[in-house]
Amino acid sequence: MASIDSGGGDSGHKKGPGVKKAKKLSTRVDMTPMVDLGFLLITFFIFTATMSSPTTMDLNMPKDTEKKEEETKVKQSGALTVMLGKGDQVYYYEGELEPTGANFKQTTFKGIRDEIIRKKKEVISSYVTDPACEQKARDKGKKDPRAECQDQDFVVVIKPMEDATYKNTVDILDEMTINAVKRFAMVKISDTEKDLVKATEASTGVK
């Protein structure tokens, strides 16, 4: 037990007949409760640090295609690839990237929302009845199987650059929710796409 002692001496007291000698006073401060409190705080912080988990987001990932022709069909018909660069700039292309980069375009977040809406409508308008998909929708109790399947080929592929901000990544994921995009995925950007983004940034003066 820790304690602090302070005793009073005879200094300042008169000696002589009729004068009583002052008693020594002892002040003891018990530090044990402070030690207990310290251990409680340490235990509290250890538990809170252990129990806290990072915030996560649920992503609707497209299913793997077993056949190559199906994968090619998806890429050519309903895929929209979105790349996030610096300066809040967005880059995109539809289907497969052409060797010359002719279908590679630059826009803003307002612009990419318009492109997502347009592309989704395009996929829906070109939908050909898929009996297998619609039957699955019926089995799941969907009231409108056609509406459930007509945008099944619409896939948004998100590819952030290394210097893209966390905010922009969250914003583009919000666009998926706002525009009811059922199938989207975050994929590593390719070297060819990186070169196109950097070349566009250099030519337009994006910093």
Residue range 112-142, pLDDT digits in tens: 999 999 999 999 998 888 899 999 989 989 8
Mean pLDDT of 162-177: 94
Lowest mean pLDDT among 11-20, 38-47, 162-171: 11-20
User: H or E element: which one contains 43?
Assistant: helix 32-51
pLDDT tens string 29-49: 666 777 777 777 888 777 666
Q: Is 5 within a domain? A: no
What is the span of the domain harbouring residue 129? 68-204
- Provide the number of structural domains found in the chain: 1
> Facing residues of 184 across strands?
156
Region 153-180: mean pLDDT is 94
| 34 in any annotated domain | no
Above 60 in pLDDT, residue 14? no
Is the residue at 49 inside a domain?
no
Whole-angstrom distance, CA of residue 194 vs CA of residue 198: 6
**Structural domain contains residue 170:** yes
Percent of the chain clearing pLDDT 90 (strictly above): 51
Return the pLDDT at 40.
Answer: 79
Q: What DSSP string runs through 97-135?
A: PPTT-TT-EEE-HHHHHHHHHHHHHHHHHT----HHHHH
Name which residue leads in pLDDT, 99 or 37. Answer: 99
pLDDT at 7 over 70: no
Q: Is residue 13 part of a domain?
A: no
Instruction: Round to the nearest angstrom and report the end-to-end CA distance of the chain.
Output: 63
Query: Does residue 51 form part of some domain?
Result: no
For residue 112, being part of any structural domain is answered with yes
Identify whether the C-beta of residue 94 lies closer than 8 Å to the C-beta of residue 79: yes
In a domain, 149, yes or no: yes
